[in-house]
Amino acid sequence: TASGKSDLAVQLAKKFNGEVISADSRQVYKGLDLGTGKITKQEMRGIRHHLLDVAPPPKQFDVAQYQKLTHHAIAGILKRGKLPIVCGGTGLYISAIVDNPSYPSATPDKRLRAQLEHKSPATLFAMLKKLDPARAQIIDRNNPRRLIRAIEIAKAHGPAEALKKNPLYDTLLIGIRVPPEKLKTALRARLLKRMRQGMVQEVKRLHTKGVSWKRMEELGLEYRYGARYLRGELSKQELIETLTAKIWQYSRRQMTWFRKMPNIRWCTNKQQAMRGVRMFTARY
RNA sequence: GCGGCGGUGGCGGAGUGGUCAAUCGCACUUGACUGUAAAUCAAGCGCCCCUGUGGCUACGCAGGUUCGAAUCCUGCCCGCCGCA
């Protein structure tokens, strides 16, 4: 967040004849622009971007869909003889491409989920233990969302296998390192700018176009708190304060994900990144 | 000036004689992650020794009562409300 990755991606694409693939779980939705910090047409500077605006906001999108669409996109880019550049902050989505795990084929079961939603973690855990004791051993037993999905998988086709990774592509991972204080300031400045550009109006517009307040809660920080502000639960000042805090928390969670990626190459400036890519592409 | 209410950890806010370093929420720090991932979940969060049924300092300030006080009493300081 606010590290300058979109901008870097475009520069790399220019320099190395590439196209950009977004790895962002909110920018996949059409119409979520200001609130997600989506790159604008102008900022793209003619570089083709993929995996943006591929889903309607009311419908839930997920990693498996992301994985599938991305493989298509990458195939197309390679066929055109170009370099695919994945850029984004959703660790899970990045790993969906880089590690290419084959997710259990059990498809989300809305009815089952609704049924389990109000059960306590303890009962969910008991259910899972019966269905898939091995999984129960290693799962986070306090986390209803994980428990429900695990049950979903077990019900569909018995005990789950360990997740296999089958990487398809040779990848270079670049992490951008920004000093925390600097990042904090940048985050806030960016938020204020987006507010001036009409972020709240965007939320309002989405709602009039049929996105429920309930759904808004799930579409990302800006939409969640923006909606609360519009409903009068937050003052403008409170909106700004809680959003800065929440965005910062989110940014930290991103970092904990990236920190554990094994071969990530950390860069503090564009030159370092450029050099990395040059060396990487020289191998082919 | 008189009367009422209140001052608790970074913030909000419990507790009203012992089991209180003090419920809880937020913020903060660290981490997990098998189709919601900007989601969901976990741990830590006065100071020190970092072994424990450990030591120290704490609930506006200063005294007092008590075996024992954030909790009771007195004085002072500060805030809000009502009457002047």
Residues 36-75 of A with CB under 7 A from strand B: 36-37, 60-65
pLDDT attached to residue A117: 92
> Would the Cβ of A107 be found within 7 angstroms of any atom in strand B?
yes
pLDDT classification of A231: cutoffs 50, 70, 90: very high
Considering only residues A14 and A161, tell me which one the structure prediction assigns the higher pLDDT: A14
Distance A249 CA to B22 C1' (A): 28
Whose C1' is closest to the CA of A113: which nucleotide?
A: B36
pLDDT attached to residue A157: 83
- Angle, CA A35 vertex, CA A56 and CA A234 arms, to 5°: 115
Q: Are A176 and A2 in contact (CB under 8 A)?
A: no
pLDDT attached to residue A40: 97
* Sign of the alpha-carbon torsion through A92, A93, A97, A103: positive
Q: What is the ipTM of this complex?
A: 0.94
Report chain A's mean pLDDT, rounded to a whole number: 96
| Span A194-224, pLDDT tens digits | 999 999 999 999 999 999 999 999 999 999 9
Whose C1' is closest to the CA of A88: which nucleotide?
A: B38
| Span A241-261, pLDDT tens digits | 999 999 999 999 999 999 999
Whose C1' is closest to the CA of A260: which nucleotide?
A: B31
> Would the Cβ of A105 be found within 7 angstroms of any atom in strand B?
yes
Tokens of A245: 């805090």
Which residue in A92, A108, A90, A111 sits closest to A163, CA to CA? A92
Residues 69-88 of A with CB under 7 A from strand B: none
Per-residue pLDDT, averaged over A25-39, amounts to: 97
> Would the Cβ of A18 be found within 7 angstroms of any atom in strand B?
no
| Span A87-142, pLDDT tens digits | 999 999 999 999 999 999 899 999 999 999 999 999 999 999 999 999 999 999 99
pLDDT attached to residue A247: 97
Distance A188 CA to B65 C1' (A): 55
pLDDT attached to residue A214: 95
pLDDT attached to residue A168: 95
pLDDT classification of A85: cutoffs 50, 70, 90: very high
What would the DSSP string read from start to end of A205-217? HHHHTT--HHHHT
> Would the Cβ of A95 be found within 7 angstroms of any atom in strand B?
no
Q: Are A73 and A82 in contact (CB under 8 A)?
A: no
Q: Are A171 and A95 in contact (CB under 8 A)?
A: no
What is the percent of chain A with per-residue pLDDT over 70, rounded to a whole number? 100
In one letter, which amino acid is A259? Answer: R
Alpha-carbon separation of residue A272 from A12, A91, A254 (angstroms): 12, 22, 21
